[in-house]
Amino acid sequence: MATREIIRLKVAESTNSVALERGEKGAAPGTVVVADSQTGGRGRLKRSWLSPPGMGLYFSLLLRPDLAVESLPKITLAAGLAICKAVEFEYGVFPQIKWPNDLLLEGRKFGGILTETGDLQNISNRQKPLVVVGVGLNLYLPESGFPPELMGRATSLSLHTDKKISADILLEACVNAIEEVVQSLEKGYFSKILSAWKQRDAAQGKILTWVTPHGKKLAGVSLGPDADGILHIRDQKGTIHEVLSGDVNLVGKILE
């Protein structure tokens, strides 16, 4: 790994919080915060991320990307692709992605990404934004299994590979891959990243349901993300909806 500061904690409330705090205080891009466990691990949409000791890899990578604020959401898609490639290279499995940030193995979630930023209101044009990419990967099955609400939806890497899992090797592979893909994003290669992302899109051509910002539940066929990373879904009437944020649920394969 290139010279970087790795802050290793036994317990963190959230590695993202620690990385954001360190970033605000001037920590260098490339700094990594990794914890054995988290007491308040968080995911998208104010969900919590189960982070018991010895079961998973929980880390946050601090970045200062040379990107416009409106391009920052692309980092989550790019990081998803990077992690899939790293996991595939190390463990010979083929992870897929459910837009925007769910990492799946054989249809079940084994990882997630939470990208957060520092204060974007007060940054000058010349300042690079503070971005933290937080990654949680289930490496092993908790002794008592997954909690009921995750049953049937969650999985862990150990259930899909015979190779010995090393959290340290995986951390290095993921961090290097994320940095590499963000550099590629900075050079303007998002379309290239997107076409590789689409090879791993778990929802392409399948039926998704989602709730609109007005609270309406809709269903349609996923057309995948567009050139800006915004998800397009075609409903039964043929109307194309753009989903910018929120959650989508994979219902099943379209019958044609």
* Residue ranges in contact with ligand BTN by CB under 6 A: 14-16, 38, 41-44, 47, 49, 58-60, 101, 112-114, 134-136
CB of 18 or CB of 221, closer to ligand BTN: 18
CB of 42 or CB of 160, closer to ligand BTN: 42
Q: What are the Cα distances from residue 124, in Å, to 11, 69, 120, 128?
A: 35, 11, 9, 8
Question: Least Å distance between CB 240 and ligand BTN?
Answer: 26
> How far is it, in rounded angstroms, from Cα 220 to Cα 232?
9
Q: Which residue from 179, 173, 172 is spatially nearest to 65, judged by alpha carbons?
A: 179
CB of 52 or CB of 224, closer to ligand BTN: 52
CB of 131 or CB of 221, closer to ligand BTN: 131
CB of 90 or CB of 102, closer to ligand BTN: 102
Question: Least Å distance between CB 212 and ligand BTN?
Answer: 20
Q: Which residue is nearest to ligand BTN (CB)?
A: 112
Question: Least Å distance between CB 253 and ligand BTN?
Answer: 23
> How far is it, in rounded angstroms, from Cα 115 to Cα 69?
13
Neighbours of 55 (CB within 10 A): 19
Q: Which residue from 193, 176, 188, 156 is spatially nearest to 76, judged by alpha carbons?
A: 193
Question: Least Å distance between CB 79 and ligand BTN?
Answer: 11
Question: Least Å distance between CB 19 and ligand BTN?
Answer: 8
Phi-psi label, residue 105: left if phi above 0, alpha if psi -120 to 50, beta otherwise: beta
- What single letter denotes the amino acid at residue 164? K
